[in-house]
Amino acid sequence: MECEQTPAMREAIGYMRGGELVPDTIVWEIVRERRACLNCVGGFILDGFPRTLGQAEALQKLLEEEGIPLDAVVNYELPFSEIVARLGGRRTCETCKAVYHVTERPPKSAGHCDKCNGNLLQREDDRPESVAVRLDAYNRSTAPLIEFYRNLGLLVRIPAFGTPDEIRSRSIEVLQSRRVSQVSYVSMHEF
């Protein structure tokens, strides 16, 4: 089931398709639209948010106002070359949206989905030039958050090499070792 897109979501998608970071005002509007989700009984995960110091400070203020603790901020670390290889090789079925990778998880028939035989396409934001723009924006806007959350004692560094299952297992192990009582954390990564 697809989520109905709000005007803020549509505007954000336009920026992402161009390989750009979404401006704080638009991202913050999306967060405000979903504010009630931060009070979930089992906690919450914000994936890829905040991405700027302004967003982090606004989130910190909101959480304090709502009396919601933030247990950890996860920073997934991966070398630039690996990021480019992962994103540049990703292909998505235009019909059923299944995801493949040209070297790591290729389809049985090049360019066609194993599930529905639809055409596999490279997303605009996975093209090398878009990845370069995104990484440059990350270095300017998001990297300062590492120090911000380290100073708050919330930063958890997790190497992002290996399979998705290995990264997930590593994440769970690290978070459990911190004795995180609920799942209330932010995932900071490039993409």
114 occurs within a structural domain: no
111 occurs within a structural domain: no
Give residue 168's pLDDT.
92
Give residue 91's pLDDT.
95
* Cα angle: 173, vertex 74, 37; to 5 degrees: 100
Give residue 94's pLDDT.
93
State percent of the chain over pLDDT 90.
34
pLDDT at residue 189 is higher than 70: no
12 occurs within a structural domain: yes
131 occurs within a structural domain: yes
pLDDT tens for 101-126 read 999 899 999 999 999 999 999 988 88
Dihedral sign for Cα atoms in the order 68, 55, 170, 38: positive
144 occurs within a structural domain: yes
122 occurs within a structural domain: no
Give buried/exposed letters for 154-179 (b at 16+ CB in 10 A, else e): bbbebebeeeeeebeebbeebbeeee
Number of structural domains found in the chain: 1
Range of the domain at 57: 7-78+127-188
| CATH number, domain containing residue 147 | 3.40.50.300
Q: Is the peptide bond before 69 cis (omega within 30 degrees of 0)?
A: no
